[in-house]
Structure 1
Amino acid sequence: MAIFKFPKQAAHLAMAAAVAFGASAAQPAFADDILTVGNPFPPFSLDPALSGNGRAGTWLLPTYEPLVRTKADGSFEPALATSWQVSDDALSVTFTLRTDAKFSNGEPVNAEAVKKSVEYFVNKKGPFYVNLASMTSVEVLAPDQVKISLSEPNPAIVSLFDQNWNAGAIICPAMIDTPDVLLTESCGAGPYVLDSANSISGKTYVYTPSETYYDQSKIYWDGIKISVFQDQNSGVQALKANQLKLLISDPFTGHSNRAAVGDSLRLVTSPLQWAGLVLTDRIGEVNPALADIRVRKALNMGIDRDLVAKAMFGDLAYGTDQIQAKGFVGYDPALEEMYPFDVEKAKALLAEAGYGDGLRVKATYVTSTLNDALFQAYAGQLSQIGVTLFADPKTGFAGLRQANKDRTYETLLFNTNSGIPDLAKFQTLSPTGSLNAYATTDDELTALIDKASATVEPDARKAAWEAVYRRVTELAWFLPVLGIDATYFATSDIETPEIGQSVIIDLAWVKPANK
């Protein structure tokens, strides 16, 4: 019989989260005309070229208008660009820009400004520059037309310039000339402007309406206030006390509090992430055991994924053996049978590899309510096969980046969006990707990725990416455990866009329910 070891710390976290909605707070609620948001992730940087993305890039959403917006169904809608054309070979995209957009400092948004911003994004070599590492040129074809060319085909090239991937967060030319200012100020073409005088670095960020935004009718709030709530229990208490209208949360907290959510609060969820361990040290530089595929396969057999999913997340998660989420190109149901939970077989593989007497493995992660609980669950499960998982917690993404730079990773406990494989590959599989600290490569995998990236026809593209993810799963470069829902809490007096393939709730389009 499988035993789910849910240690006291994780149990206490669940209990604390569950009772949080019953707590009261004496602090005053914020004005109804201010959108108040809680985010578990402090900003890695306010410079779009250096920032995190998705939920970790929420800080950029009010101030930087993208070239396009991705909707929940995966289609695009105009933003700074009114139209776009991808070449037949997927080597270039041409954007036609709206002519009435201005940056918050009054500079016009034109092709020259877009060129300067995109080139700055790539040259800064931030967390997501690898998405455009194959960029060969940015050409100004007309004052309102810009062409971006690549050396390698990417059928998802338009997505790189949406509200999630940061390259489309176009920065005003003047600020690029003094980039250090971007660490404390904003200068985008979005509906709001960062009010640095009333913001507290690392804690609270205040935004005021931009007088230069091209569509004043879509400025729905007198201001936006985003506060850091790394402790989700404090976040749900703030919601209950009417101090927040929206909390960027996680499925652990969502499941724990689901029964307490009433008429005044609701959960907004979308299944688009995977959670588990990135087995980063596949070359055995820090931990020689991880270079042995038998060890990596044993780790994959050492966790009862379905049990963890049900115990911690209810219906907000499912067990999975692969790093692509259900509903996205490349997901293959057949891969879910590759690493069934089998304690005895896992132990046998470890013994065959020379680790029958036990193995210690380090897990590095950013501490949060979710990650702390996941670590406890993973450690409890792996102890059944003789593996001691020990924690290397960091207080922010800067700590992860430093560990990457110092090459001290063994494994990385991480939760990340799956999404479009043409983009996800850059972070997870590329030798320069942020989740490939030791630049691991595999010739067969590289050939499969190249083929998939060059395939445009939908059915052939689906099959090609399924082959990629099958090879990734065979190599056991990762220990995927869960497919999880992106989870938000929202009050009943706001209207939020659907998440879906847009990956995030775009704060620019959150509005009062009565508007």
Structure 2
Amino acid sequence: MRRLRLLPVALVAALALTAGACGGGSSGGGTSSGGRASGGTLTLGATIAPNPWDLRGAGLNGAELQYYEAVYDSLIRLDPNANPTANLATRWEWDATNTVLTLSLRSGVTFTDGSPLDAAAVVTNLLHTKDGTGEAAAALRDVRKAEAVDAGTVRITLSEPDPSFLGNLGQSPGMIASPRAISDGSIKTKPVGSGPYTLSGPGTTVGSQYTFIRNPKYWNAKAFPFDKVVIKVLADQTARENALRSGQVDAAEVAPGRMESLRGAGFNASPVLTGDIEGLYLWDRGGTVCKPLGDVRVRQAINYAFDRATIAKQLGGGFSTPTEQLFHPDSSAYDKSLDKRYPYDPAKAKQLLAQAGYANGFSCDELDFSTLFPAAQAAITQYLSAVGITLTPKSIPVAQILTSLQSAEVPLSYFRLSARRPWDTVRSTIAKDAAWNPYHYSDPEVDRLIADTQRLTGGEQDKAFKSLNKYLVDQAWSATWSVPQTAYALKKSLSVTPEAFMSNPPLYRISPAG
């Protein structure tokens, strides 16, 4: 399955530009709300357009979530630390096996087409989204059964415990669309939900600008203070910054290196962790195609070969944080002490290669990212050649990169992978059947530790994730470099509360200042 929403943010922009997307856009539609307590218009600059409105193909999070939040309400609302709180579901309870979740729904909620948002509607949505091909569908793949106990109660049965399941119901997997629109197929081109806004045709140009007007029957209007939200698609970073400075948009994601300049121009600008981990991913850690990678000493040597502090500074413009882990610093699996496991030591790298039988080094193929990420590609070549490892770049058309990687066509490459909650990382990157474990490498100890994380809860689960993390670092599953950052800038008349793992804040986190 091709999961496009796992595409790194930088690569999304690169692909969009390659396809001919352009910045700019007209100023029509949006007038800033200024410092008003409510009402007015909020105009945002976005990196991508919504694709699709049917949540079967939706990504899990990212810039497109702002579009979905405008029209679809979610079962769960996430707090700034990405913990679940009440929304459409007011209460919930797991059974003793952590495989049966019972949700109590808010009463009196209706879709904008007049139909009720009840348990039957929730069941329809969960099963419909699960049957899709996007990341939202993948997040629901453990749903074995969903049933309406009564009009206000939903019971969801999973095939196995999923520690991220409840949190994912606060993103696209838990968003609820009108069953009528799903049934007649109109949901593919026009969203119909119960959210705070509805999509306005007169102010919308597909692929360029999307205008949302207030839903007067929304149950929680105070969480969304603006009467209108306009989102302009501006794939290029420079175009987004120019739109900010000219007043065409009120807020947008910007390059972190531009924060100081924007602050000097009167904007609020703050760094935001993207939720990604970047570095050299050793896809073929079992040595299926590149035999040396099957030796843990070789993988450890690769880790010792990189000067992470220098790479993070040079590639991240001083806004990236060095790391040696697959898990994100905002997650409960992260262990700061593990980032000292592989200090920069070329001599140690050569020693380990010699012990593994590669005193004269070795060679293997890699994906050539020199067009999209020239600095990252140069860093890989420089540091690995210094310890005797020669990589032969394999050129792959941009449009085929994801399928090529997930089809195990190259044993290693530079990449960025999303690393939100620990279980999300397990399911997307570590498990044998994970989309980003293309060679389906497995390890009995990893399997045991993964089972522990599923079985346990609370503090014991956190310990199990940390144990798994330590084992992966010791086994050098990959050679990650850094936690990249982006930045979010907005007018002084607005305030925003960041949310963990989100490069673009949810709409309910943006409000007039003061």
TM-score, normalising length from structure 1?
0.82
Conserved in 2, the CA contact under 8 Å of 1:365 and 1:414? no
Superposition pairs of residues 9-20 of structure 1, within 5 angstroms? none
Q: Equivalents in 1 of 2:297, 2:337: separation in Å?
A: 21
Shift of 1:504: 5.1
Q: Percent identity?
A: 23
Say yes or no: does 1:484 pair with 2:484.
Answer: yes
Secondary structure class of the residue paired with 2:442: coil
Say yes or no: does 1:280 pair with 2:286.
Answer: no
Conserved in 1, the CA contact under 8 Å of 2:25 and 2:232? no
Shift of 1:156: 4.1
Superposition pairs of residues 378-393 of structure 1, within 5 angstroms? 378-385=380-387, 386-388=389-391, 390=393
Report the CA distance shift for 1:311/1:412 in structure 2 as closer, same or farther (over 3 A): closer
1:414-465 per-position Cα deviation (integer Å, ceiling 9, x unaligned): 434433213332112233333223332222101111012211141x222211
Which residue identity lines up with residue 111 of structure 1 in the other structure? A
For the aligned residue pairs, the C-alpha RMSD in angstroms reads 3.3
Shift of 1:233: 2.2
1:320-366 per-position Cα deviation (integer Å, ceiling 9, x unaligned): 11012334212123322322222233345556348726544215699
Shift of 1:99: 1.5
**Who is 2:271 aligned against?**
269
Report the CA distance shift for 1:225/1:366 in structure 2 as closer, same or farther (over 3 A): farther
Q: Equivalents in 1 of 2:188, 2:512: separation in Å?
A: 30
Q: 1:187 aligns with which of 184, 189, 192?
A: 192
Q: 2:308 aligns with which of 305, 310, 318?
A: 305
Which residue identity lines up with residue 301 of structure 2 in the other structure? A
Which residue identity lines up with residue 86 of structure 1 in the other structure? W
**Who is 2:324 aligned against?**
321
Report the CA distance shift for 1:185/1:258 in structure 2 as closer, same or farther (over 3 A): same
Secondary structure class of the residue paired with 1:104: coil
Conserved in 2, the CA contact under 8 Å of 1:281 and 1:287? yes
Shift of 1:77: 2.7
Shift of 1:288: 5.2
Q: Equivalents in 2 of 1:322, 1:498: separation in Å?
A: 23
Secondary structure class of the residue paired with 1:49: helix
Shift of 1:48: 2.0
Conserved in 2, the CA contact under 8 Å of 1:101 and 1:108? yes
Superposition pairs of residues 455-470 of structure 1, within 5 angstroms? 455-458=456-459, 460-470=460-470
Conserved in 1, the CA contact under 8 Å of 2:363 and 2:392? no
Q: Which segments of 5 or more consecutive residues in structure 2 lack a partner in the other structure? A: 1-9, 11-23, 33-39
Say yes or no: does 1:475 pair with 2:475.
Answer: yes
Conserved in 1, the CA contact under 8 Å of 2:55 and 2:136? no
Report the CA distance shift for 1:286/1:357 in structure 2 as closer, same or farther (over 3 A): closer
Conserved in 1, the CA contact under 8 Å of 2:430 and 2:436? yes
1:131-178 per-position Cα deviation (integer Å, ceiling 9, x unaligned): 333222112111011011223223443212013xx2101122123224
**Who is 2:168 aligned against?**
160
Which residue identity lines up with residue 67 of structure 1 in the other structure? L
**Who is 2:124 aligned against?**
116
Q: Which segments of 5 or more consecutive residues in structure 1 lack a partner in the other structure? A: 1-9, 11-24
Superposition pairs of residues 401-480 of structure 1, within 5 angstroms? 401-403=402-404, 406-411=407-412, 413-458=414-459, 460-480=460-480
Secondary structure class of the residue paired with 1:94: strand
Q: Equivalents in 2 of 1:424, 1:55: separation in Å?
A: 16
**Who is 2:61 aligned against?**
54
Report the CA distance shift for 1:71/1:208 in structure 2 as closer, same or farther (over 3 A): same
Aligned residues: 479
1:39-97 per-position Cα deviation (integer Å, ceiling 9, x unaligned): 33454533322222222432322222111111113443322112222234322221111
Which residue identity lines up with residue 323 of structure 2 in the other structure? T
Report the CA distance shift for 1:135/1:328 in structure 2 as closer, same or farther (over 3 A): same
Q: 2:260 aligns with which of 240, 258, 261?
A: 258
Conserved in 2, the CA contact under 8 Å of 1:130 and 1:433? no
**Who is 2:499 aligned against?**
499
Conserved in 2, the CA contact under 8 Å of 1:269 and 1:499? no
Conserved in 2, the CA contact under 8 Å of 1:70 and 1:501? no
Which residue identity lines up with residue 304 of structure 1 in the other structure? D
Q: Equivalents in 2 of 1:293, 1:120: separation in Å?
A: 43
1:166-213 per-position Cα deviation (integer Å, ceiling 9, x unaligned): 21011221232245x444321222112334665444444333333442
Which residue identity lines up with residue 57 of structure 1 in the other structure? E
Which residue identity lines up with residue 41 of structure 2 in the other structure? I
Secondary structure class of the residue paired with 1:266: strand
Q: 1:206 aligns with which of 201, 207, 211?
A: 211
1:12-50 per-position Cα deviation (integer Å, ceiling 9, x unaligned): xxxxxxxxxxxxx99658421432222334545333222
Which residue identity lines up with residue 210 of structure 2 in the other structure? Y
Deviates more, 1:227-236 or 1:58-67: 227-236
Which residue identity lines up with residue 244 of structure 2 in the other structure? L
Report the CA distance shift for 1:209/1:402 in structure 2 as closer, same or farther (over 3 A): farther
1:272-325 per-position Cα deviation (integer Å, ceiling 9, x unaligned): 542223322335566555445444333322321111223344663221110123
Q: Equivalents in 1 of 2:246, 2:392: separation in Å?
A: 38
Report the CA distance shift for 1:153/1:442 in structure 2 as closer, same or farther (over 3 A): same
Report the CA distance shift for 1:103/1:400 in structure 2 as closer, same or farther (over 3 A): farther
Secondary structure class of the residue paired with 1:167: helix
Which residue identity lines up with residue 261 of structure 1 in the other structure? R
**Who is 1:22 aligned against?**
none
Q: Equivalents in 1 of 2:219, 2:446: separation in Å?
A: 45
Which residue identity lines up with residue 223 of structure 1 in the other structure? K
Secondary structure class of the residue paired with 2:433: coil
Q: Equivalents in 2 of 1:132, 1:422: separation in Å?
A: 13
Deviates more, 1:146-155 or 1:339-348: 339-348
Secondary structure class of the residue paired with 2:439: coil
Report the CA distance shift for 1:325/1:315 in structure 2 as closer, same or farther (over 3 A): farther
Say yes or no: does 1:346 pair with 2:349.
Answer: yes
**Who is 1:19 aligned against?**
none
Secondary structure class of the residue paired with 2:55: coil
Report the CA distance shift for 1:26/1:210 in structure 2 as closer, same or farther (over 3 A): closer
1:344-393 per-position Cα deviation (integer Å, ceiling 9, x unaligned): 333455563487265442156995xxx56544544554454444474857
Shift of 1:259: 4.8
Report the CA distance shift for 1:509/1:331 in structure 2 as closer, same or farther (over 3 A): closer
Which residue identity lines up with residue 178 of structure 2 in the other structure? C
**Who is 1:175 aligned against?**
181
